Amino acid sequence: MRRRIPIPHSEGQCSHQAHADFPKQAIYEREAGRSGFFGPASHFHHQHPPTAWSDWQGELRPRCFDFNRVDSNADSPWQVPVLLSNAQCKIRLWRTAKPMQHLVRNADGDDLLFVHQGGGELFCDYGHLVLNTGDYVLIPRSTTWRISPHSAMMLLMIENTDAGYELPDKGIVGQHAIFDPAVLEVPSINQTFRQQYSEKTTQVQIKRREQLSVVTFPFNPLDAIGWHGDLSVFKLNWRDIRPIMSHRYHLPPSAHTTFLGNDFVVCTFVPRPIESEPGALKVPFFHNNDDFDEVLFYHSGDFFSRDNIEPGMVTFHPAGFTHGPHPKAFDGAQTTSKTFTDEVAVMIDTRHALSVGEAAQAVENSSYVDSWKGALK
């Protein structure tokens, strides 16, 4: 059994507990931790913001991309570029406005779709689902499916390569915390599904190892009349997520974990009460990315730890440096009268380093690294 090396110690002036009641001489707390927010950690109290760099040279830097500008209109999700990726996780953005005239299947892994804009209908092996803005849709590996939009759709796609998604262990708070599995909606073999039965020639585009095979059937293979079992497509809307929070303690991002992937997690930040304890930290704490790359896709609202970030934009903080709230957000949190956050964002934390695709590089705001000096230009 592996065992970490414990070094419990306190040095100099430090708070009694993490994220609260800082020494007056040093209001900037920095957490250095391992294994995300689950391993050994130390908390430093600094006289200056840990993000107050004056210059940055080299590739390891905070990065920001405007996914609204990505050229991702396509008839098939397999036609859009991979924006961020490693061997376990691939992140795409797909825009579609017309009903798909073919079917698709991913033989590489599970797909998690997040409907950022628009809505429509999903037809798959399991039946029919109506999709709305804010829905997560989990599509198990090798499921055959297509989408018929009601309005132009913009979907964040997170592939869990060579693995299936799982739900996090909710521990002592119980299985009904964060969201009750009763809210998960599975497809129905209803009249809408039965109406699409057809003897019309239909093609299925199958992706395997990023290569496509096209299989042609003399009928529509979405022809199931029923099914039973515990494997299925399902959807979850962020509005059904009820976050865990404490009025006295700023909880780490891991408290907002929604899905577990293969060496990565997907978290959802939704509106919640702001900490009300006078000495409690009210914005995300400065912390080191020592084991995980962090990606944040901003969906809607006022992103209280970021300045000049709009819906559809993405920030990327690779492992290896300290990051945290922008100066305006940090200063505002000290005097804010707000009692609630109103942001919705999807976070993807990966255990292994992500590569940035050419399409993402083309929509990067290179001045983001300097945004901790002031307003993002």
Class of domain 28-52+60-64+243-365: mainly beta
Mean per-residue pLDDT, 228-251: 93
55 is in an annotated binding site: no
Q: Which residue has the higher pLDDT, 239 or 304?
A: 239
Pairing verdict, β 234-237 and 257-260: unpaired
75 is in an annotated binding site: no
Interval 269-309: pLDDT, tens: 999 988 888 877 777 778 887 889 999 999 999 876 677 89
Interval 164-202: pLDDT, tens: 999 999 989 999 999 999 999 999 999 999 999 999 999
Report yes or no: 250 and 282 within 8 Å, Cβ to Cβ.
yes
Report yes or no: 123 and 146 within 8 Å, Cβ to Cβ.
yes
Instruction: Give pLDDT, residue 287.
Output: 80
The DSSP output letter for 345 is: E
Which residues are CB-neighbours of 148 under 8 A, at least 6 positions away? 99, 100, 120, 121, 123
Class of domain 72-238: mainly beta
Report yes or no: 288 and 40 within 8 Å, Cβ to Cβ.
no
Instruction: Give pLDDT, residue 271.
Output: 94
Instruction: Give pLDDT, residue 280.
Output: 76
326 is in an annotated binding site: no
Dist. CA 370–CA 71, nearest whole Å: 26
Mean per-residue pLDDT, 334-339: 71
Instruction: Give pLDDT, residue 25.
Output: 63
Interval 46-92: pLDDT, tens: 888 888 899 999 999 999 999 999 999 999 999 999 999 999 999 99
Least confident of 98-112, 130-144, 312-326: 312-326
Instruction: Give pLDDT, residue 377.
Output: 38
> How does residue 16 score in pLDDT terms, banded at 50, 70 and 90?
low
Domains 28-52+60-64+243-365 and 72-238 share a fold: yes
Dist. CA 120–CA 154, nearest whole Å: 11
Q: Choosing from 128, 250, 299, 326, which is the catalytic residue?
A: 250
Domain ranges within the chain, ordered by starting residue: 28-52+60-64+243-365, 72-238
Q: Which residue has the higher pLDDT, 231 or 341?
A: 231
Least confident of 8-17, 114-123, 127-136: 8-17
Instruction: Give pLDDT, residue 276.
Output: 85
> How does residue 26 score in pLDDT terms, banded at 50, 70 and 90?
low
Dist. CA 331–CA 312, nearest whole Å: 25
Ramachandran class of 362: left when φ > 0, alpha when ψ lies in -120 to 50, beta otherwise: alpha
Instruction: Give pLDDT, residue 34.
Output: 78
Owner of token pair 């600094």: 46
> How does residue 375 score in pLDDT terms, banded at 50, 70 and 90?
very low
> How does residue 353 score in pLDDT terms, banded at 50, 70 and 90?
very high
Instruction: Give pLDDT, residue 21.
Output: 65
250 counts as catalytic: yes
Residue 222 pLDDT > 50: yes
Interval 136-159: pLDDT, tens: 999 999 999 999 999 999 999 999
Instruction: Give pLDDT, residue 376.
Output: 41
